[in-house]
Amino acid sequence: MSLLLAIDVGNTNVVLGLYDLAQGPEAPLMHSWRLATSRERTVDEYGVSALALMRHQGIEAGHIKQVAISCVVPPLHPVMMSLSRRFFGVEAFYVEPGVKTGVKVLIDNPSELGADRLVNAVAGIEKYGAPLIVVDFGTATSFDVINEKREYLGGLICPGLNISAEALFQRASRLPRVEIAEPERLVGKNTVQAMQAGIFYGYVGLVDGILGRLLAEYPEAKVAATGGLARVIAPHTKHIKHIAPDLMLDGLRILWLRNQGLGRK
């Protein structure tokens, strides 16, 4: 077995995904797992956790032949690179300025673009074509815009749904924490219902409001959603037509292939 381990290090979760390289450049995602992101966790702790999850599916360390990493948490960059060497004996491919992406970045300082946003753009173009808007529901919610020439134009970043809800819980002492989910009704009959409806539909309104403005400027753009809360929010919006929770992992697979001279250019 010859597997690629894709590692997406976000502010909230570290997501692991496996691809069977023997199935060619279009290999589907085999398995994926989420770990809580912790800047204090050691290489050994991450490594043992990763191996335990993989062994539950019959995957051993020796099956991992390649590792691709995207990381937006700088202290964890050396941790993940060490994990790749120590647990899998592989020098990881790391998404950083200079890697071949096939996407021209047209922002003021291309080196400041987060790896996650670039990887999402690459995967979104491969999957849906261009022009394209990618909405990533993560710790922050980002909106990334790619034109018909497959050029990355920039985007918007706003507080994520969980961050927004947590601010409400912390600053309003009499309001309890509630589950973030589609509410039973629009008009709440009690405090919990009212909070659930306000948080949920308020965020749906935020997303649709931003997308409405973007689509007024880029009317031909497709809209795709990814990230941990994509399945929760996207189905209730007017403008999101595609949901791809594993877009980041697919993007890492695509970039690894592209930088080996394989797959599409």
Distances (CA, A) of 136 to 30, 148, 223: 22, 20, 11
What is the C-alpha to C-alpha distance for residues 261 and 250, in angstroms, rounded to an integer?
17
- pLDDT, residue 166, reads 86
Residues 59-74: tens digit of each pLDDT: 999 999 999 999 999 9
- pLDDT, residue 263, reads 62
Strand pairing partners for 19? Answer: 4, 29
Q: 3-state SS of the chain: helix, strand, coil percent to 5?
A: 40, 25, 35
- pLDDT, residue 184, reads 86
Full set of structural domains in the chain with CATH = 3-94 (3.30.420.40), 104-249 (3.30.420.40)
What is the C-alpha to C-alpha distance for residues 214 and 133, in angstroms, rounded to an integer?
8
- Residues with Cβ within 8 Å of 51's Cβ and at least 6 positions away in sequence, in order, are 61, 87
What is the C-alpha to C-alpha distance for residues 264 and 102, in angstroms, rounded to an integer?
9
Question: Tokens 């790896």 map to which residue?
Answer: 115
- pLDDT, residue 265, reads 53
Before 131, cis peptide (omega within 30)? yes
- pLDDT, residue 178, reads 81
Please name the helix (run of DSSP H) or strand (run of DSSP E) that holds residue 196, with its range, or none: helix 191-217
What is the C-alpha to C-alpha distance for residues 258 and 179, in angstroms, rounded to an integer?
41
- pLDDT, residue 123, reads 97
Residues 3-48: tens digit of each pLDDT: 999 999 999 999 999 999 999 888 999 999 999 999 999 999 999 9
SS3 at position 87:
helix
- pLDDT, residue 264, reads 60
Residues of the chain falling short of pLDDT 70: 173-174, 263-265
Single pTM value for the model: 0.90
Closest CA to 182 of 155, 200, 158: 200
Length of the chain equals: 265
Residue 116 annotated as catalytic:
yes
Residue tagged active-site, from 116, 136, 144, 250: 116
- pLDDT, residue 1, reads 77
What is the C-alpha to C-alpha distance for residues 217 and 39, in angstroms, rounded to an integer?
40
What is the C-alpha to C-alpha distance for residues 50 and 52, in angstroms, rounded to an integer?
6
